[in-house]
Every structure is written in structure tokens, then in C-alpha cells.
Chains A and B, each alone.
Chain A
Amino acid sequence: MKLHEYTITQLHELISKKEVSVPELTRYMLDRIDRLDSNLECYITVTQKHAMERAESVQKMIDEGVLNSPLAGIPMAIKDNICTKGIPTTCASKMLGNFVPPYDAHVVKKLYDNGAVVLGKLNMDEFAMGSSTESSYFKKTKNPWDTQRVPGGSSGGSAAAVAAGEAIYALGSDTGGSIRQPASFCGCVGLKPTYGLVSRFGLVAYASSFDQIGPLTKTVTDCALVLNAIAGHDPMDLTSSRRQHPDYTKALINDVKGMKIGIPREFIADNVQKDVRDAVLNAAKVFSNLGAECEEISIPSMEYVVPTYYIIALAEASSNLARYDGVKFGYRAANPKDMLDFCMRSRSEGFGTEVKRRILLGTYVLSSGYYDAYYKKALKARALIIRQFNKIFEKYDIIIGPVAPTTAYKIGEKINDPVQMYMEDIFTVPVNIAGLPAISISCGFDSSFLPIGLQIIANRFDEPTLIRAAYTFEQNTDFHKAKPSLDE
């Protein structure tokens, strides 16, 4: 087996036994990126020098015995909307093409404390707005399973990098499915934690009441290890929870006996690709065979989730993106006539089409005369959706279903039909609306041998049950062991 194929757990053992040094491992990964990434285009920035320096110092700390985190010395990469001190953080936008934050995001600090080695910053949809990574200003990331296809999005660079072995693990962000859907398309593990479990400080805001940072990994065990490192209260983020989080590796238990699982009939309807539906139903069988009780349930408000999500998310986005006016940071239009021209042209020239579309929609739903009809109504729908999930979790431990209605599609296939693209978020957005944790794990392949993701949803802060179910499925199936064949 080659180094890039190892998991965090395996590499930790190799490093501990001094079978590989952190600088060797880092050098290996950088060389691999160098070889593959001109084709896959996962990275916006590769931090060669920074990574090697960091690798040396982490190795020294390991040797001195002051660092023994399972993440120590493991090369990883970060979605480019998570701020990294001294390293460009572009959000894949021309607007922030020149932006170098003077601070680290809370999660980045925590990962550094754990000895993480950062290889670089990963491609994404511009400002995380999209589900194919095609709206990036800089490049189009390819799906490692079929380079004609999209990796999903918006954390497409993160999922593709992990699947292709260009990073051992990655951080992504999930506002409406942006971790889970690319994880599903690229066949890796992607977790969106409970809203408030992970600090958002340093995550460039898209929709503040939905955004969460989470890990993309090769296995559920790795996922639990990364979650342990990044979860926890941050006084700089007042929406982060004060509760003590458990050790998530304690939930890595291969047992689902007696677990009550709900399968919403709305999740396995005709709008779902047949291969995907079959894989999900097969997953239910796997769980049943292991002693869990699977039942069909219903989420009656499913028809409202997409509009509810888009109204609230875009309202918040229109406000969150108001700060990009050319005055303080980011892109600035040349030779403005006056103040208004300066601001308008900086924004017109700095933002891409999808971002502008979402800002306009968000501005519209908050405007006087439309606020009650859209934004206020969406808040009511949100409350209703939350109540329906609460009710389900009174009876069921987890909900399972597909992550997306389809497997990875061709680059360019859907980019000109925004409404269809929005509609395909239908299975991921309810989770963000209700602030729930959800994970995507591999549960099969379609007829073109493209990965299919199984979504598992749990109650708020019940990541342990989520991880236990995902771990059990993984231990009893082989889907996660398949690797894309890359021309190397």
C-alpha cells in the first residue's frame, strides 16, 4: 500500500513507530499533488514551504514527546473559505483573490494545536454557492472516479482531494449539503456536525444560521478523530454550544442491535435515480440484518424544504456579502467615477454569476413589501420542519436516505439550470434547516461505477449515535475500500 492510501489511524501508527517521518510523508504528499493536481485541480493554493517547515517542527515536537495527538504530522488540506493566517483565503472568488487573513479560523488553530500539517487550500464553488464546484473563479475540479464529471460541491476540492489521495483528510463547510454531497459523489466520508458544535469563527460566512465546518475523511474512525479535534465551545462564536462534547472515538462500536431507523418515503420517491434508491434500500437491509429496526416514515413538510432553505440562506447571504465593497479588502474596481460607482463596479466585477444571482434573490426576499410573503413565511416553515424532526427523533434514533438524488453528473451538464440544481439539494437542506448532524458514507456504486452516498441523520448533538451507525455499516460492508483508478 502507498502512503496516500493510508488512513489517519494507520499513518499515526507509522509515525509513532518511526517507520515514516512527518517530513518524508509531507514531501510524498506534495510530490503527489504536484503530479496529479494539474489534472484534477483540487487545490487553489499549495503551501509547499509552509507545509515542509511545519512538518519539521511537528516531527521535532513528536520526538520531544510534547505532541501525541492522533492528528500529529498528518498532512491535510482546508477548503478555501476557512481563514488561514498568512495563507490566501479566496473563497474561489475574484473578489477575494488577493485576500490573506491576519488570523486563523478557530478550527485551524485547533488543528495546529493537534500537529496538523496543512498542504494547502482547496477549490470550491464561489463563496460556497453551488453544488458542483463549477462556479469557482479559478478552476474546475474533476471527480477522481471520472474526470469528465463534477466532484460535487461546494466542498468539491475537499472531497476530490481526499478521494484521490491528495490529502489524508480535509475540512469542508456545509450550508445546505456542501460536505455531504461531494463526499457522496467522490466516495468518501463527510460529516456535517450539529449546528453550534464547531466554531464558525474564521469561516467566511455564506448563510450564518446554517453554516457548519466538518471533516471529509476516508473512514468513519478518521472522521471521529478529526471531530474530536475541532468540536467545542469558542467564546468568539456566540452560536457555538457551551456543552462538553464526548470523545467521539468511544462511539466507534460495531453494533446497531435495537437501533430504531426511520426511512422517509419522500427520500426514496421516483425523483431518485434507481441505482441510488436501490443502494439506500440495500443499506436498510444491511442494518436490519445487523439487528436494527427499519421503518418507513414520512416528513410531510419535505415539499417546503428547498424554498425554505433558499429564502433564509440567500437572505443571510445578501447581507453577509455586503462587506465586499472594495473599500477594506478584496477586489477593487479601477478608476471609479465616484463612491457609488466604486462600490457598484467592485461588486459587479468581483462576484461571479451565481453569487450575484443569490445576492439579488436574498435582497429581494428581505425587501419591504416582500418580507412577510417570503422571509417571514420561511421562518415559520423552518419552525414547522424543526417540529417534525423533533417528533421523529422521539421515536427513532436515526434517519437514513440518499444524500443526493443522483450520482456525479458531467461537467457543464446542469450549470445553466439553477432551479434544477437547487432542487437536487432536497435531501441535504432539511438537515441544515433543523441544525441536525448528518454524515455521508459509501453505500454502493451506480452502473458507471460512480460512488453512491448513504446519508445518516441523527438528533441534535447525537453525533455518537450517528458515528456508531456509520461505523457499524462501514465495518460490515466493503464499499469504502474501493478506490478510483487514476492514471499515475
Chain B
Amino acid sequence: MEYEAVIGLEVHAELSTKSKIFCSCTTEFGGQPNTHCCPVCIGMPGTLPALNRKAVEYTIKAGLATNCTISNFTKQDRKNYFYPDLPKGYQISQYDLPLCKNGYVEIETENGKKKIRINRIHLEEDAGKLVHSEYGHNSYVDYNRTGVPLIEIVSEPDISSAAEARAYLEKLKAILQFIGVSDCKMEEGSLRADVNVSIRPKGSNELWERTEMKNLNSFRAVYRAIEAEVARQIQVVKSGGTIQRETRRWDDAKGESYPMRSKENAQDYRYFPEPDLPPLIIKEELIQRLKNELPELPDARKQRYISEYGLPEYDAGVLTSSKELSDFFEEAARASENIKAVSNWVMGDMLRILNERNLEVSQVPFPPTYLAKLVALLDKGVINGPTAKKVFEEMFNTGKDPEAIVKEHGLEVLNDESLLLQVVEKVIQENPNSVADYKKGKKKAIGFLVGQAMKATKGKANPQLLNELLIKKLEG
């Protein structure tokens, strides 16, 4: 029998509000342990939570950007469990009345567009972190992250492959970044995903028992964990076993997952309404205002790149995959008359260099307008293609204006005919064999001669002109 995967994702994104959800401590990442906390966020006796309205607004924006219905009446609930990184012994979350529900996002798959439905988005507080000492048996707790506002985005089990899961995550990340509610840095833990996986006979509508996978710290880990889990489940079923409901922990280094806890040991969180916070009434006017504040979303921007800039769908998709990249491209494009060339530079050399140097778009040391200038220098024939590539590298090294680099290193194309004629004559003199070959009809020999002439001009000659002058000289 053939099987197919049924996958649902629970994505946690930290909101990029300045202060925490229930106190005025900073949400900044890092810092010396326990320096970003106060009596409220470490749950000292007698303290009470005061809700950060911005966190509520950000959650609503996330809901609006993912086509959710926003609840007009919502409340917070306590999720009770003991863990040293949870200072109050409960997490303030939302149980039966989440802020946003019934949304979707659209992803690209091998078979075209696909809607992934979103069951709910709710607002909650993040927990702290355990730090285990390298030597000895001590563990420490760092509460800096405690109380950073967090949204949990729960998808329906509409995802059918690891590739779709990755596409869904990339789309969510792009949306959250575009609307400015989360920086979605997986390496800093501001975007985290838990994955629910089950299998079923291909084409059926059944829902079999699922497993949940935790500790997925990158898109790659999500992809690999799903592939491995689907394979594991098929293996279990094929060898006559059944899948048990359980939570598994992914070990990315080993490429395997291990059981963490079974259904029998599932925690009873004893949810109940948070008595310290009154229910929230979300007014229509607020929803309308937040809707009006939403910027252009990735899908709309992609469409615009296709219709307005005439870019191919694929290119438009890559360019709108992240807000930083898209904003960079757009600023360069606006300063340029050759948008297609700008797009090629961004998608080609720029992404390659960023990748080689392990840089983020935000770390590009020059403004996007410099890229437009570079394209213009090339289009006007001031520099040639190979020189442009060198100038671009130099821009990454120094952050300098391409015009300044060209001037400083004297990289302008040599168009001076009398000067180039002298070079041509010298090359003909020094390469009698190639000249003879050419005259015998081996027209390809011209390439070698042009190369020699370029070398003699340190690559600055206008190759077109060199070619013409050489042919004229050899045949004349």
C-alpha cells in the first residue's frame, strides 16, 4: 500500500513589541542572564499582570494578514504546569476563545497553489530558559525571555509533505516580517515550530494517530524531521505495528527523533480563566484601524512585481520571500531604469555573495541605490560586464559608491581607438602562430587574440571594439 503524510504545524513567533506582555521590561534578545526582568515577570508574590495592548494589536494584525476572523470577545486563561523556567507555575495563554481563528495562507507547491488553513492564533507569554553548567550537575535559570509576548499559530492538518511544510513556514515568516510584528529569527528562537505528523493510505480521508515533534530549530530541521518521521511511521505500519500518540524530540545532529512522553503521561494543564485579567472586548473600529495599517503583503507584492515590473513569476516569488530582500530590491528598482537587470543582480550575485559570506540582507554595507548606479554604469558602457562583477565585490568589501570605485581604480572601458590600435598591433606581432592560424581559416583564433589584448589593457578595453580592430587589421 502507498501512504501519504498528513502534517499540521504549531508555530510560535515572538512579537517584536518593545516591552514584555505583562510588565515594562525590555524584550531585547540576549543580555546578561536575569537582567531583563522585574518582580512582575518573575512572578514574585503579590504581583499582577498588566496587559500590553500593543501585543494584542500585533496578534490581531497577524490574524488579519492570514485571513483570520478576529474575535470580538476574548479572554486569557491559565495553563498550569511546573517547570523551573515558568516562574508562576502557570503560563498565561488563551484556551477556548483565541483572538484569531479560521484563516489560511496560500503556498506554492509542485502542483500549483494550495491553501493551508489556520485553525487559530492565540496570544501567550514566553517562558525563560534553563542553562545547564558545563561542569558539575548544576542548572541555572535565565528569566530574560520570560514574558516576551508570543503568538501560537496552529494550522489545520492540510500539509502533505516536508516541502510544503517548509513553504508554509517561509510564507508565514514573510507575512509576519512584512507586517512588522515579529523578526522571526529562528536562530534566536523568535520563530519556533512543533510538527504533528501522521500517515494514511494514499487518497483516503482517514486521520490516523499522530506524533508531535519538538525542538526543531531551523527550516532544515523541520524538513528533515518530517521526512524521517514519515519514513519511520511507514516502516512501523508496514512491519505490522501501530503508531502511538506521543511527543518526540528531534536530534538534528543525529537526524533521528526519540520518544519524549507518551499519551498516558500527557500533562493535564488544568486550564481555567485568568482571574487577574478581565475579558477583552475587541471593538470593530480597532480591527478596522489595524486593517488599514497593514502594509502590502508578500502575495500582493509578488503580483505587482509580475504585472508592474514584468518579472517572471519565479523571480517575483524569490524577491518577495523576505521583507528585507524585497525592500532592498524595491529601493534599487525605484532608482533604476533597468529593473530586470536589478532583479538579476539581486537574485544572482547578491544572494550568492550573501550566502558565501554568511550575511543577512540587513548587513549589506551599501544602500540599494548603489546597485542601481552599478547597473547604470554597465548599461551606459562606462564599464564592462567582468568589471561590473569586480566592482560589485568591491562594494561588498568597502561599502563604497560604484562610481567612486570605478574612478579610484580607473576601471572605465577603454574606447580610445588609436590607443587600442597600438595594443592590437603589438598583440599581432607577439603571436605569429595564432595570426597564421587565423589566416589559414581558423577563425576561432581571434578569441585568443582578443583575450591577449584584454589582458594587456588589464581587462578595461571595450571587447567589441577590440574585436573589430583586430579583424580589420588581420584582413586588411
Chain A positions within 8 Å of B, measured between CB atoms, are 81-83, 89, 91, 96, 99, 101-103, 105, 200-205, 207-209, 235-239, 315-316, 318-319, 321-325, 327-329, 339, 343, 363, 366-368, 371, 375
Contacts and interface: CB of A to CB of B under 8 A. Distances in A.
B214 to A, nearest CB: 18
B381 to A, nearest CB: 66
Tell me whether chain A's interface is mostly helix, strand or loop, or mixed: loop
Interface string B68-105: 00000000001010101001111000000000000000
B272 interface: yes
Interface stretch (B36-44, B365-373, B409-417, B446-454): B36-44
Contacts of A235: 50
B47 interface: yes
Contact of B39 (A81, A103, A318, A366): A103
**Interface range, B side:** 20 to 34
9 contacts: A89-B46, A208-B275, A239-B276, A319-B80, A322-B82, A325-B89, A339-B84, A368-B270, A371-B272
A322 B278 contact: no
Contacts of A200: 48
Contact of A322 (B49, B80, B268, B276): B80
Given A236-B50, A367-B270, A323 B43 contact: yes
B45 A89 contact: yes
Given A103-B39, A325-B82, A238 B276 contact: yes
Interface in B78-134: 78, 80, 82, 84, 87-90
Nearest to B34: A328
B51 interface: yes
Given A208-B276, A316-B275, A367-B268, A202 B82 contact: no
A339 B78 CA distance: 23
Contact of A96 (B45, B48, B88, B141): B45
Contacts of A316: 272, 275
Contacts of B80: 318-319, 322, 366
A101 B46 contact: yes
Contact of B272 (A236, A237, A238, A366): A366
A201 B49 CA distance: 9
Contact of A375 (B49, B89, B272): B272
A238 B277 contact: yes
Contacts of B39: 101-103
Nearest to A196: B278
Contacts of A81: 46
Contacts of A318: 80, 270
A244 to B, nearest CB: 19
A323 B270 contact: no
B422 interface: no
Of B39, B48, B80, B87, most buried by chain A (CB within 10 Å of CB) is B48
Nearest to A82: B46
B362 interface: no
Contacts of B48: 200-201, 236-239
A346 to B, nearest CB: 11
Contacts of B78: 319
Nearest to A83: B46
A205 B277 CA distance: 14
A318 B272 CA distance: 11
Given A315-B272, A319-B270, A319-B272, A327 B45 contact: no
Of B39, B276, B278, most buried by chain A (CB within 10 Å of CB) is B276
Of B44, B51, B141, most buried by chain A (CB within 10 Å of CB) is B44
Contacts of A329: 44-45
Contact of B44 (A101, A315, A325): A101
A203 B272 contact: no
Nearest to B274: A208
Interface string B335-350: 0000000000000000
Contacts of B271: 366
A102 B88 CA distance: 17
Contact of B46 (A201, A207, A366, A368): A201
B45 A363 contact: no
B418 interface: no
Given A238-B277, A325-B84, A339 B139 contact: yes
A339 B138 CA distance: 10
A102 B42 CA distance: 12
Of B46, B50, B90, B271, most buried by chain A (CB within 10 Å of CB) is B46
Tell me whether chain B's interface is mostly helix, strand or loop, or mixed: loop
Interface string B273-311: 001111000000000000000000000000000000000
A290 to B, nearest CB: 40
A105 B48 CA distance: 11
B192 to A, nearest CB: 22
Contact of A343 (B47, B51, B82): B82
A201 B47 contact: yes
Of A82, A96, A204, most buried by chain B (CB within 10 Å of CB) is A204
Nearest to B139: A339
Of B39, B42, B275, B278, most buried by chain A (CB within 10 Å of CB) is B275
A484 B32 CA distance: 58
Contacts of A103: 39, 44, 46-47
A239 B278 contact: yes
A237 B40 CA distance: 12
Given A327-B141, A343-B82, A202 B46 contact: yes
Contacts of B87: 323, 327-328
A100 to B, nearest CB: 11
A83 B84 contact: no
A144 B277 CA distance: 40
Nearest to A368: B268
A343 B82 CA distance: 9
A96 B44 CA distance: 11
Contact of B51 (A201, A238, A315): A238
**What 4 pairs between A and B have smallest CB-CB spacing?**
A322-B89, A208-B275, A366-B270, A209-B275
B82 to A, nearest CB: 6
A316 B78 CA distance: 10
Nearest to A103: B39
B449 to A, nearest CB: 78
Contacts of B43: 323, 328
Of B84, B270, B271, most buried by chain A (CB within 10 Å of CB) is B270
A403 B179 CA distance: 57
B50 A238 contact: yes
Nearest to B45: A204
Nearest to B89: A322
A151 B276 CA distance: 30
A235 B50 CA distance: 7
Contacts of A201: 46-48
A318 B89 CA distance: 10
A112 B383 CA distance: 77
B25 to A, nearest CB: 14
Contacts of A367: 268, 270
B277 A322 contact: no
Contacts of B139: 339
Contact of B90 (A207, A322, A327, A368): A322
A328 B42 contact: yes
A99 B80 CA distance: 24
B88 A322 contact: yes
B276 A323 contact: no
A311 to B, nearest CB: 11
Contacts of A339: 84, 139
Contacts of A323: 43, 45, 87-89
A81 B78 CA distance: 23
A155 to B, nearest CB: 16
Contacts of A204: 45-46
A363 B267 CA distance: 13
A327 B278 CA distance: 29
A183 B168 CA distance: 63
A89 B44 CA distance: 12
Of A319, A363, A375, most buried by chain B (CB within 10 Å of CB) is A319
A238 B45 contact: no
A322 B90 CA distance: 7
